[in-house]
């Protein structure tokens, strides 16, 4: 296959690139290197043999659209840029495909933020963590959209454009509404990529600021499982084109901020210095994906459980700490 990955020097993009190149596909990445660390990912994949990157050559069998402005905080500070990259950027890409590469399969990395704060759901606190009172399997794709924060709006509108370009123009788009993804080569910062950021901070001995009370819960997904979801979805593209899937760790892989700190303290064998600050906009107390539709439609579910994934990431971060210094 020929695969184009926008945002291919970013965390998810670079893991997809090495996976697909490693099994013999031709991968071209397109990235403006705006994310701190993406230039290091680019250097790294060049070493792995992906030399001729950052050109647009088509037609492509598969396009993974990962490029984005990814931080909610940045979207609040600069909503226009966020809109231009996330909403307009996706629209431009869809238009280019419609005119020049309509046979491609287009996978869009959307986000659970499209569901907003879900204030109608009852949330209870149990054992120092929040949980849904009435939704043990998590939030499914039938949930109303309720974009919150400029990032939620820009990613959400792109999500809807992808879906509609299937209905109106018959493009083979698949939307993945991703929860927290974590893994190798993620340059997590305080504003985005919290699992990786906590690991990096723990390894480098930095203080971690908890926004909110630390009891907030996310389902978390290890990067290898996400790449596999893209691969399996591609295999089933003719059956699932035009559909939207929640992709996350699901109810079996949930983690609070405090629980992650405890895991890391155990792995490091020391206390991690913490500070506290206010909740951030659009920050849900709980988000847990119901991932059964993806399992049903293309046979995907996570195989790396949270404790195993965190240990792998901590070890990798420790071994590669020089790239974060």
Residue from 3, 4, 27, 66 binding ligand NAD (CB under 6 A):
66
Among 72, 118, 171, 180, binds ligand NAD (CB under 6 A): 180
Answer yes or no whether residue 70 interacts with ligand NAD by CB under 6 A: yes
Distance CA 3, CA 136 (A): 37
Per-residue mark of binding to ligand NAD, 112-151 (x: CB under 6 A): ----------------------------------------
Q: CB of residue 126 vs ligand NAD: minimum separation in angstroms?
A: 25
> How near is the Cβ of 194 to ligand NAD at its closest, in Å?
9
Told to judge if 151 belongs to the known catalytic residues of this protein, a careful annotator would answer yes
Q: What does the per-residue mask of binding to ligand NAD show for 33-62, with x meaning CB under 6 A?
A: xxx--x------------------------
The residue from 108, 151, 165, 245 that is catalytic is 151
Report the nearest approach of ligand NAD to the CB of residue 195 (Å).
8
If one counts every other C-beta atom within 10 angstroms of the C-beta of residue 56, the result is 11
Residue 56 to residues 67, 162, 280: CA-CA distances in angstroms?
A: 14, 20, 38
Beta strands in the chain (DSSP E): 2-6, 26-30, 62-65, 105-111, 123-126, 129-132, 172-178, 180-182, 208-211, 217-222, 244-247, 254-256, 274-277, 286-287
Number of Cβ within a 10 Å radius of residue 218: 24
Dist. CA 183–CA 197, nearest whole Å:
11
Q: Which of 110, 115, 147 is nearest to 12 (CA)?
A: 110
Q: Using the rule CB under 6 A, is 323 a contact of ligand NAD? A: no
With binding defined as CB under 6 A, does residue 302 bind ligand NAD?
no
**H or E element: which one contains 19?**
helix 11-22
Using CB under 6 A as the binding rule, the residues of this chain from 147 to 176 that contact ligand NAD are 155
Query: Is the separation of the CB atoms in 257 and 189 below 8 Å?
Result: no
Q: Tell me the site size for ligand NAD, rule CB under 6 A.
A: 28
Choose, by CB under 6 A, the member of 3, 4, 5, 10 that binds ligand NAD: 10
Which residues fall within 8 angstroms of residue 187, CB to CB, at 6 or more apart? 11, 35, 36, 37, 38, 40, 41, 193, 196, 324
List residues near ligand NAD by CB under 6 A.
Answer: 6-7, 9-13, 30-35, 38, 66-70, 85, 89, 109, 111, 155, 178, 180-181, 193
Please give the positions annotated as active site: 151
């Amino acid at each position: 296959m020929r695969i184009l990955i926008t945002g291919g020097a970013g965390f998810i993009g670079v893991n997809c690139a090495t996976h697909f190149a490693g099994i013999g596909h031709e991968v071209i990445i397109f990235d403006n290197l705006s994310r701190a660390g993406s230039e290091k990912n680019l250097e790294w994949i060049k070493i792995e043999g992906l030399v001729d990157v950052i050109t647009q050559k088509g037609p492509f069998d598969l396009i993974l659209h990962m490029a984005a402005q990814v931080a909610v905080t940045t979207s609040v500070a600069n909503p226009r840029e966020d809109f231009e990259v996330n909403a307009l950027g996706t629209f431009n890409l869809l238009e280019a495909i419609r005119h020049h590469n309509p046979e491609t399969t287009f996978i869009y990395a959307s986000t659970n933020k499209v569901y907003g704060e879900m204030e109608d759901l009852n949330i209870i606190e149990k054992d120092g963590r929040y949980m849904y009172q009435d939704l043990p399997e998590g939030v499914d794709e039938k949930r109303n959209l309720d974009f919150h924060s400029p990032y939620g709006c820009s990613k959400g509108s792109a999500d809807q454009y992808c879906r509609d370009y299937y209905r109106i123009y018959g493009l083979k788009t698949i939307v993945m509404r991703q929860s927290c993804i974590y893994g190798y080569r993620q340059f997590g910062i305080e504003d985005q990529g919290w699992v990786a950021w906590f690991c990096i901070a723990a390894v480098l001995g930095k203080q971690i600021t908890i926004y909110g009370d630390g009891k907030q819960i996310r389902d978390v997904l290890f990067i290898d499982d996400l790449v596999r979801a893209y691969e399996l979805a591609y295999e089933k593209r003719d059956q699932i084109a035009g559909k939207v899937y929640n992709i996350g760790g699901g109810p079996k892989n949930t983690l609070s901020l405090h629980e992650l700190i405890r895991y890391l303290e155990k792995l490091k064998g020391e206390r991690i210095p913490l500070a506290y600050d206010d909740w951030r906009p659009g920050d849900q107390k709980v988000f847990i994906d119901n991932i059964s539709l993806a399992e049903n439609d293309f046979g995907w579910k996570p195989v790396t459980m949270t404790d195993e994934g965190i240990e792998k990431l901590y070890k990798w971060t420790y071994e590669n700490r020089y790239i974060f210094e």
